[in-house]
């Protein structure tokens, strides 16, 4: 039942997305030999090296071998699913294949990785991304904890009369642990736009007036799905660039990638130290 770019099991609106996640989790267990994972990480742009630092990788699977997953369309995402043995003896599922909402596959596919992680048994979901910063003091390469979000896609991954409290969506407990590892970590409110175009300066000003500090094109839907699935969520953004209108120069995706590469060693080490405390 492997998936590829031409196959989207979520095209069938009668299909149960949680059943699809269950099948994917069973395939991961079979391919990795690990019945249950404890922590899951989605590694966005700039965060990829953390998978090598958190523990021993005992299995690595092409994402396209697992039901409902496809190869990532964004440069900087590795396209694998890894099972990592942590020094604590816990198991981490590292997801290097993220589907963005702007790819047009729908919210179910966007949050499939999170629901699959929950189906493997994970109780903590770590979501990372590369994003634009609204605070001038956040230079490219600055890691920021996500304290809350504003979802400007106007789309929820939840369907029907599904009511979930999001008061502590980005768990204070996990942020407190992160602060013990690095007391200098700043926090901010993440604003998810639809993408794939970067935000206009006017949209960035709007986000700031609404209470936003970080702008990007992922994470919010995944966080909601993770919370609905019973997981605690830790969100972290790598500030790869000042947002439009704050930056004195036009935004360039290659420069965003370069900023992520430059910061990768430092932020991956930080994330590994945080995971060690969970």
Catalytic residues: 199
C-alpha dist (Å) from residue 88 to 56, 94, 159, 275? 11, 16, 37, 10
Dihedral sign, Cα of residue 216, residue 217, residue 218, residue 224: positive
C-alpha dist (Å) from residue 53 to 57, 178, 191, 266, 271? 9, 16, 29, 11, 9
What's the longest Cα–Cα distance across the chain? 51
Element (H, E) at 205: helix 201-209
**33, exposed or middle or buried, with CB in 10 Å at 0-12, 13-18, 19+?**
exposed
Beta bridge partners of 127: 42, 235
Torsion angles phi and psi, residue 149, rounded to 5: -145, 160
Block residue for tokens 């609204």: 134
What single-letter DSSP state applies at residue 15?
S
- In this structure, what token pair is assigned to residue 217? 């094109």
Torsion angles phi and psi, residue 107, rounded to 5: -65, -35
């Amino acid at each position: 039942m492997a998936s590829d770019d031409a196959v989207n099991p979520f095209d069938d609106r009668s299909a149960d997305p949680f059943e699809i996640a269950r099948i994917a989790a069973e395939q991961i267990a079979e391919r990795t030999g690990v019945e249950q994972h404890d922590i899951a990480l989605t590694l966005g742009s700039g965060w990829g090296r953390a998978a090598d630092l958190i523990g021993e990788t005992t299995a690595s699977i092409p994402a396209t071998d697992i039901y409902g997953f496809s190869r990532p369309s964004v440069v900087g995402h590795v396209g694998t699913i890894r099972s990592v043995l942590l020094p604590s003896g816990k198991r981490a599922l590292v997801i290097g294949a993220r589907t963005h909402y702007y790819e047009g596959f729908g919210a179910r596919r966007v949050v499939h990785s999170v629901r699959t992680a929950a189906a493997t048994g994970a109780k903590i979901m770590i979501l990372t991304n590369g994003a634009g910063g609204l605070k001038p003091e956040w230079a490219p390469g600055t890691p920021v904890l996500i304290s809350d979000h504003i979802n400007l896609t106007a789309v929820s991954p939840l369907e029907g009369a599904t009511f979930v409290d999001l008061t502590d969506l980005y768990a204070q407990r996990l942020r407190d642990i992160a602060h013990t590892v690095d007391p200098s970590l700043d926090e901010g409110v993440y604003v998810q736009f639809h993408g794939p175009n970067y935000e206009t300066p006017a949209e960035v000003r709007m986000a700031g007036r609404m209470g936003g500090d970080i702008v990007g094109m992922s994470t919010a839907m995944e966080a909601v799905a993770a919370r609905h699935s019973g997981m605690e969520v830790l969100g972290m953004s790598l500030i790869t660039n000042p947002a439009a209108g704050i930056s004195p120069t036009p935004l360039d995706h290659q420069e965003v990638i370069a900023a992520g590469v430059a910061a990768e060693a430092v932020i991956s080490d930080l994330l590994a130290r945080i995971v060690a405390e969970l």
